[in-house]
């Protein structure tokens, strides 16, 4: 994984001022079809079948999440429903409007976390802005 050195102005904390940080160099987002093509090269399944399976995986995962279930992919992690709700004084005040956010969270399995912790890191030189 590649990082670059960046200068940042920090305004909070015990010693604000100009600081240097490592910033991840993000690669391009890999499209769904490209992932299917990559999977085809490492299996005997056709691209069409792979796309259908991935599409079904997404559809069924979303269906389960909408029903309030978590979905665990062995060897990868668990997708779960995340919510933010407003606290009110009485049970009668709890309505759909007190639910402020419904989203999806992801908790990677320990092996995935460890793999990410042990990823090879390279630091690119400082990007100096020239006036």
Give per-residue pLDDT as tens, 97-119.
999 999 999 999 999 999 999 99
Sequence spans of domains, the chain: 70-117
CA distance 131 to 19: 19
CB-based contact 71:77 (threshold 8 Å): no
Q: What is the mean pLDDT of residues 80-101?
A: 95
| C-alpha distances in Å from residue 98, one per residue of 28, 80, 81, 101 | 38, 20, 16, 9
Single pTM value for the model: 0.75
Backbone CA torsion sign across 30, 34, 40, 46: positive
């Amino acid at each position: 994984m590649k990082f670059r050195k960046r200068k940042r102005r920090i305004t909070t904390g015990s010693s604000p001022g100009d600081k240097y940080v490592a910033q991840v160099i993000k690669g391009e987002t890999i499209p769904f079809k490209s992932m299917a093509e990559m999977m085809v090269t490492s299996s005997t399944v056709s691209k069409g079948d792979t796309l259908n399976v991935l599409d079904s995986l997404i559809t069924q995962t979303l269906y389960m999440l909408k029903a309030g279930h978590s979905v665990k992919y062995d060897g990868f992690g668990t997708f779960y429903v995340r919510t933010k709700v407003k606290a009110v004084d009485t049970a009668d005040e709890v309505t759909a409007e007190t639910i402020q956010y419904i989203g999806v969270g992801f908790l990677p399995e320990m092996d995935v976390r460890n793999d990410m912790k042990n990823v090879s890191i390279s630091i690119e030189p400082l990007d100096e802005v020239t006036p």
